[in-house]
Amino acid sequence: MIGQADIEERYELASQRIASFTGNEDESLPAEWQQYFAAQAELFALMEKAGEDPGNKELNAELYKDIVPENYGSSFCDPAYAVKLFGKESGRILSCAAAEMRSAIPFVFEKDRHALLIRMELLLELHTAAAAAFAEGGAPGAEELKEILKCFVSDYYETECEARVASIVDTTRSFAADIVRNADLSSADYLFLYGEYVTDNEIRLAEHVNSLPEDKIAIMADTWSEGYRKGFELAGKDLSKKKSVDVRYPIGFERVVRKALENFEKLGLKPVIYRSRDSIFFGRSVQKNGFYGANPNPQYDYDHREDAALVMDGQLVSRKLECMKAAFEEHKEEARVHAGPAVMEDFGGKPFVPAEKEEVCRLSAEQRELDVRQRTENVRITYSYIPGEERSFTIIAFPVPDIGGDFEEIFDAVIRINTLDYEKYSAIQMHIIDALNGAEKLHVKGKDGNRTDLYVSLKKLSDPSKQAIFENCAADVNIPLGEVFTTPVLEGTKGELYVSRVFLNGLEFRELSLIFEDGFVTEYGCGNFGDADAGRKYIEDNILFHHKRLPMGEAAIGTNTLAYVMGRKYGIEDRLPILIAEKTGPHFAVGDTCYSHAEDVAVYNPDGKEIVARDNEVSLLRKTEPEKAYFGCHTDITIPYEELGLIEGIAGDGSSIKIIENGRFVLPGTEELNKAFG
């Protein structure tokens, strides 16, 4: 372990050396190389200033100006620009390295000198290689640059992984919690203390939240924390054994989070709050996970999502998995008493449709298999230390000002949707569950151009008096309430799932089509790019996540017609998060089941019947081939009511019972749900 004194000494030397890149010393390098290293030096100089004055608004804008859309095309972080200057191979590597320098920004605010230092020394190694090559009359070779990058990842993955695992389970790491608890919320200036990018959207959000009456804040926070508690209670899990909760939120909601932390502490839970971090060690994604600010440019994240292609091989993946296991072993006591995530999401940001660039890094076929192995094993390791059968979660979502001029009205409408009558919806949904208990298949058919025609096989009950196929989902782990869901039987599940437009994981999909055969996606496409191959690649990357195929892990019927009507009223249907959108029609998830890693925990509906459809043919492999049982992903795809022609349950004798017809509920006992449409 490097001592702090050694870190400080190396940091000072690195700082001095990098500062010289903006002077005359680099005149021996060609102009584009001088500009590259000068740009990184200027970034580190800005970071130094920001560390000395963390609440400075002007510095916040300066730190991120390089990658905002209007500047990105002339940024070394844009692979297209870097490739134009340095060639395909070297350009990709140097663009990746520039992005890695930007990943150091949070460490300035968190006072993590070592994380800063290793990135500074990476830059120095690249500079040394360039200077030596040009001194001998030529540019540095791409293989040499790639080897420097690969050694950087291999050498420091252990420390980066330990820090990441610690941030998930160690309650003494309190950077964000201290801001939430202690910041003066009377002004939005506190937002700049995080080191996240802050725009008018975050400022207006904080001002709105801080203007709300205390009772409204209490309702928001109590719904969130009480949903978390109910998740344990309804699943029969012992919350009293747990000591920590993973709290995730977008900045601007601190007043609600502060109240929620008080609630969690009454439950005996201390918070762990970590930043959504992006780096070559853990990858980049448009969708953020942790606490996060504004995204300066989603295209930047999208362009660098597969930078690991520069360094990934079997040896490195094995090392990463060893480091992950070692990190959890070091923190196994904290992990054992960790209760799981309490997530607050935001929605309403500007829609993002990515541009596909040939200059970006792409995983090879072999690397995709390695990536799947790494993701799958990471999940398995995590659940071996934070047992799935003992943990739970809850998710809630609220809009942000970018949603438009009706923001305040929409915000209040979402609070109402998040706090609907639990007992009322639970009773209505029991009519649907009871009707489908006698069905062998669920048939879903689209209308008015929606090509969906899907048959979903359902589990047969051995004792209908004590068992149920579908779970009654009211407001606990998954807020707002409003769905019944099941794990389909894969054999016999077949047909097409089609949606004209949907946003998944922060990305837009148009004319999305998935064909299922015996429960697995076999064919797929979308109309985003006008090119069939590009559409399939988009789905492979962002729905299948490099798996050769995925099963249908969930089939559900959303019942929250109020949420649907709200979306239509304000014209924000396409901007609702999956969390709300999945309640506004039938939805189907590809990937793991809803009971992933907790299939052996008995779950009951309010009427006392056990939901027995918790497994499918894939998750059952956990008993014999655990490495094949899970995929580490679960993506819900919803068909809106206006595109829905029919949902019916089909019994073994061929008789059917209709649940929805022409976008309206027709099953006796569900008529109340149609009132919202009126």
Q: What is the dihedral of CA 460, 465, 466, 468, to 10 degrees?
A: 40
Q: Nearest-5° angle of CA 565, CA 567, CA 573?
A: 130
Contacts by 405-410, CB closer than 8 A, 24 or more apart: 406/570, 407/204, 407/208, 407/348, 408/208, 409/570, 410/348, 410/566, 410/570, 410/572
Mean pLDDT for 87-93 is 98
- pLDDT for position 40: 97
Half-sphere exposure of 7 (CA within 13 A, CB side): 13
- pLDDT for position 22: 84
- pLDDT for position 575: 86
C-alpha–C-alpha distance, residues 28 and 377, integer Å = 47
C-alpha–C-alpha distance, residues 140 and 358, integer Å = 23
Tens digit of pLDDT for each residue in 594-616? 999 889 988 899 899 999 999 99
Annotate 468-497 with b (16+ C-beta within 10 A) or e (fewer).
Answer: bbbbbbbbbbbbbbbbbbbbbbbeebbbeb
Question: What is the DSSP code string of 625-648?
Answer: -GGGS--S-EEEEE--GGGEEEEE
- Residue indicated by tokens 């073994």: 652
- 450 CA to centre of own chain: 28
Tens digit of pLDDT for each residue in 201-247? 999 999 999 999 999 999 999 999 999 999 898 888 999 999 999 99
Percent with pLDDT over 90 in the chain: 86
Every domain of the chain and the residues it spans: 4-140, 175-385, 420-672
- Residue indicated by tokens 């985003």: 528
Give the burial class of 183: count Cβ atoms within 10 A of its Cβ; 0-12 exposed, 13-18 middle, 19 or more buried: middle
- Kindly tell me if the per-residue pLDDT of 324 is higher than 70: yes
Mean pLDDT for 608-632 is 93
Run of H or E residues at 520: strand 520-525
- Kindly tell me if the per-residue pLDDT of 25 is higher than 70: no
C-alpha–C-alpha distance, residues 365 and 208, integer Å = 48
Residues 432/648, Cβ–Cβ less than 8 Å: no
Tens digit of pLDDT for each residue in 234-287? 888 999 999 999 999 999 999 999 999 999 999 999 999 999 878 999 988 888
The per-residue pLDDT of the chain, averaged, comes to: 94
Place 161 in a pLDDT band, splitting at 50, 70 and 90: very high
